[in-house]
């Protein structure tokens, strides 16, 4: 038995036969037939890839939703990138064949991307190489990925998003890749498709062969090849336990989230896209406590229009069918970047232009997001909250802006709904002045991920410091208690939408302090309701 480890991307247990995703040897790259002929072949190949990508984009949008289809849109953009086209044409004119020029130019550009500091751009190197492979294939020099024909655990050096999407979903049991990062598109896809997956796994491609038995424990980030009977049995037990725990939770479906003594809590779900709202309904969430609206902006080539945003919000509101939807205005910056907004590199982006600070530089984007939200608010109950608040003046300014936009929409005879006006408490500064802030807003929602990061001065992204990233630190608990106390004093409600909301070791404390809402991932809703219902 071989045991290996990696970084977990999506939890759960998968077992089955290994499918080694080894690319075929590259076809022979023929010598140039002359620049004119090679240029013609290059542009024909681009046409074929363009058509193929458009078909794949539509298929993805239909089967997996618009958010996933945006991954293909990034590749469509790469195909039309003028620098890449000029670079490739230049090499062809210097005497290289079309395939040679495509591969060389893509490799050099991908290397430049890989050297960038920003993780988002580094991850895009894979997209550039993916498009160049598709072009090489159209030119008869591809390194094809084999076809997946039976349910398998996929082991690969790396997987391009288009390759992952091309595999039939029902045949992918688990994914283990040597490369990748948790923000690579393949990782994002695995998470959205709920496939147990590990990236940066420690194995050599020569170690594994097709048809070998494999078990992936996505939760712990461990995989086993040729598991011995005991490991296999333990994993089966674990899977059965996960399944029966899940079934037992079904008794809490449709039940109010209320303690035995009658204290009621709103149990909401966190989502990133309109598609996730379906998962929230299936999970029996009583509303959406955090819609991370920046995911509508990330992984695409241009800023979404007001209409696109309006449709996305209306879709979520429609799916939630009368249950409240709290939209967090875009929290772009730091680890969440959109290429078309890229500004000067920042020394310390987590302390730079992110959350509401970003709107100072991108006023138009903020304006169209608020217009879309206020219009959508006319179709159902909505709350809006703003990320990264540190002072009262910011809140007053945001409220004035919302009032102005509301009036303008009315003057244009467009529907303009009312909404609850809230803020995220995720900086120690905001937490410490909650008494004053509570006079300005309808609710607080605590972002414990950032509140922990900024209180303990530990980068939430730094894997090596994760052992010290302790949201149970007494400083955090004091701030959490203070926030709820000040909310109650001023007669507004407070909730928690950071990961800590799902920490059942603290549920009783949260209720005692006076939190009235907890918003967690859809998968945690019933688990948390069970805990609430069994409290006094």
- Which residue in the list 10, 105, 303, 497 is annotated as catalytic? 497
| Partner in contact with 422, chosen from ligand PEP, Mg ion, none, beta carbon below 5 to 8 Å by kind | none
Rule CB under 6 A: is residue 331 a binding residue for ligand PEP?
yes
- Is 185 an active-site residue? yes
Coil, strand or helix: which one is 77? helix
Distance CA 122, CA 113 (A): 5
**Minimum distance from residue 334 beta carbon to ligand PEP (Å):** 8
| Pairing label, strands 382-386, 325-328 | parallel
Rule CB under 6 A: is residue 354 a binding residue for ligand PEP?
no
Q: Are 356 and 387 in contact (CB under 8 A)?
A: yes
Q: Which stretch binds Mg ion (CB under 5 A): 19-27, 357-365, 410-418, 421-429?
A: 421-429
Rule CB under 6 A: is residue 383 a binding residue for ligand PEP?
no
Rule CB under 6 A: is residue 450 a binding residue for ligand PEP?
yes
Distance CA 28, CA 37 (A): 18
| Closest C-alpha to 498, from 443, 451, 447 | 447
DSSP assignment string, 304-318: PPHHHHHHHHHHHHH
Query: Exactly one of 161, 227, 383, 447 binds Mg ion (CB under 5 A); which one?
Result: 447
Task: Record the tokens describing residue 310, joined without a space.
Answer: 């309006």
- Which residue in the list 10, 21, 105, 185 is annotated as catalytic? 185
Rule CB under 6 A: is residue 48 a binding residue for ligand PEP?
no
| Closest C-alpha to 24, from 126, 136, 113 | 136
Q: Site map for ligand PEP, 173-212, x if CB under 6 A?
A: ----------------------------------------
Distance CA 73, CA 66 (A): 10
The DSSP element (H or E) to which 433 belongs, if any, is none
Rule CB under 6 A: is residue 449 a binding residue for ligand PEP?
yes
Of residues 239 and 362, the one with the C-beta less far from ligand PEP: 362
**Minimum distance from residue 205 beta carbon to Mg ion (Å):** 38
**Minimum distance from residue 446 beta carbon to ligand PEP (Å):** 7
Cα atoms found within 13 Å of the Cα of residue 486, Cβ hemisphere only: 24
Q: Which stretch binds ligand PEP (CB under 6 A): 299-307, 317-325, 374-382, 442-450?
A: 442-450
DSSP assignment string, 126-181: HHHHHHHHHHHHHTT---PPPPP-S-EEEEES---HHHHHHS-GGGEEEEEESS--
Burial (0-12, 13-18, 19+ Cβ within 10 Å), 492: buried
Ramachandran quadrant class, 519 (left: phi over 0; alpha: psi -120 to 50; beta: rest): beta
Of residues 294 and 516, the one with the C-beta less far from ligand PEP: 294
Distance CA 339, CA 425 (A): 27
| Partner in contact with 497, chosen from Mg ion, ligand PEP, none, beta carbon below 5 to 8 Å by kind | ligand PEP
Cα atoms found within 13 Å of the Cα of residue 153, Cβ hemisphere only: 27
Residues near 84 by beta carbon (within 8 Å), at least 6 away in sequence: 78, 105, 106, 109, 128
Number of residues counted as binding ligand PEP (CB under 6 A): 10
Of residues 448 and 486, the one with the C-beta less far from ligand PEP: 448
Rule CB under 5 A: is residue 471 a binding residue for Mg ion?
no
User: Order of strands, edge to edge, in the sheet holding 213-217?
Assistant: 2-5, 222-225, 213-217, 13-21, 152-156, 172-177, 197-199, 7-10
Query: Exactly one of 163, 426, 440, 517 binds ligand PEP (CB under 6 A); which one?
Result: 426
Q: Which stretch binds ligand PEP (CB under 6 A): 80-88, 152-160, 444-452, 482-490?
A: 444-452
**Minimum distance from residue 497 beta carbon to ligand PEP (Å):** 5
Of residues 89 and 450, the one with the C-beta less far from ligand PEP: 450
Distance CA 382, CA 379 (A): 9
Query: Exactly one of 76, 152, 448, 486 binds ligand PEP (CB under 6 A); which one?
Result: 448
**Minimum distance from residue 227 beta carbon to Mg ion (Å):** 39
Q: Are 370 and 405 in contact (CB under 8 A)?
A: yes
Query: Exactly one of 450, 503, 516, 517 binds Mg ion (CB under 5 A); which one?
Result: 450
Query: Exactly one of 91, 96, 292, 375 binds ligand PEP (CB under 6 A); which one?
Result: 292
**Minimum distance from residue 158 beta carbon to ligand PEP (Å):** 27
Q: Which stretch binds ligand PEP (CB under 6 A): 31-39, 87-95, 124-132, 448-456?
A: 448-456
Q: Which stretch binds ligand PEP (CB under 6 A): 235-243, 306-314, 345-353, 441-449?
A: 441-449
Of residues 133 and 450, the one with the C-beta less far from Mg ion: 450
Q: Which stretch binds ligand PEP (CB under 6 A): 43-51, 175-183, 216-224, 445-453?
A: 445-453
Distance CA 178, CA 155 (A): 8
Please give the residue ranges that form the binding site for ligand PEP (CB under 6 A). Answer: 290, 292, 331, 426, 447-450, 497-498
Please give the residue ranges that form the binding site for Mg ion (CB under 5 A). Answer: 426, 447, 450
Name the residues annotated as catalytic: 185, 497
């Amino acid at each position: 038995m071989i045991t290996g480890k990696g970084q977990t991307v999506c939890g759960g247990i998968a077992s089955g036969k290994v499918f080694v995703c080894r690319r075929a040897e590259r076809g022979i790259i023929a010598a140039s037939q002359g620049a004119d002929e090679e240029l013609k072949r290059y542009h024909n190949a681009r046409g074929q890839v363009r058509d193929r990508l458009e078909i794949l984009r539509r298929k993805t949008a239909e089967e997996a939703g618009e958010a996933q289809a945006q991954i293909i849109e990034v590749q469509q953009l790469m195909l039309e990138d003028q620098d890449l086209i000029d670079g490739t044409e230049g090499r062809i004119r210097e005497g290289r064949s079309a395939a040679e020029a495509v591969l060389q130019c893509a490799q050099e550009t991908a290397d430049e991307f890989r050297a960038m500091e920003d993780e988002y751009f580094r991850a895009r190197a894979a997209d550039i190489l993916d498009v160049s492979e598709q072009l090489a294939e159209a030119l008869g020099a591809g390194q094809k990925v084999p076809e997946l024909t039976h349910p398998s655990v996929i082991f690969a050096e790396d997987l391009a998003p288009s390759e992952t999407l091309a595999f039939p979903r029902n045949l992918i049991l688990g994914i283990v890749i040597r490369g990748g990062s948790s923000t690579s598109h393949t990782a994002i896809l695995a998470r959205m498709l709920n496939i147990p997956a590990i990236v940066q796994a420690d194995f050599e491609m020569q170690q594994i062969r097709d048809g070998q038995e494999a078990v992936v424990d996505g939760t712990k980030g461990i995989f086993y090849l040729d598991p011995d009977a005991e490991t296999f049995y333990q994993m089966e037990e674990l899977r059965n336990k996960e399944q029966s725990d899940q079934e037992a939770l079904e008794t809490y479906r449709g039940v109010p989230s209320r303690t035995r003594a009658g204290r009621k809590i709103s149990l909401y779900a966190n989502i990133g896209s309109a598609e996730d709202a379906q998962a929230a309904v299936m999970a029996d969430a009583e509303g959406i406590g955090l819609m991370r609206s920046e995911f509508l902006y990330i992984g695409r080539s241009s800023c979404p229009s007001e209409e696109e945003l309006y449709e996305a919000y209306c879709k979520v509101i429609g799916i939630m069918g009368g249950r409240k939807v709290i939209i967090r205005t875009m929290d772009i910056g730091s680890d969440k970047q959109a290429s078309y907004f890229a500004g000067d590199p920042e020394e310390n982006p987590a302390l730079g232009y992110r959350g509401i600070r970003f709107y100072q530089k991108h006023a138009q984007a903020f304006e169209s997001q608020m217009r879309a939200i206020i219009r959508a608010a006319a179709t159902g109950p909505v709350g809006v909250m703003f990320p990264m608040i540190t002072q009262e003046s910011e809140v007053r300014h945001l409220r004035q802006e919302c009032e102005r936009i509301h009036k303008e929409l009315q003057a244009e005879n467009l529907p303009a709904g009312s909404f609850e006006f809230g803020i995220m408490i995720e900086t120690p500064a905001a937490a410490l002045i909650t008494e004053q802030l509570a006079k300005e807003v309808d609710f607080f929602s605590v972002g414990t991920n950032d509140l922990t990061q900024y209180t303990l001065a530990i980068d939430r992204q730094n894997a090596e410091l994760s052992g010290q990233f302790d949201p149970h630190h007494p400083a955090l608990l004091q701030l959490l208690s203070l926030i709820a106390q000040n909310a109650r004093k001023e007669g507004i409600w407070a909730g928690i939408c950071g990961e800590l909301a799902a920490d059942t070791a603290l549920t009783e404390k949260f209720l005692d302090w006076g939190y009235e809402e907890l918003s967690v991932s859809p998968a945690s809703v019933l688990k948390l309701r069970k805990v609430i219902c069994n409290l006094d």
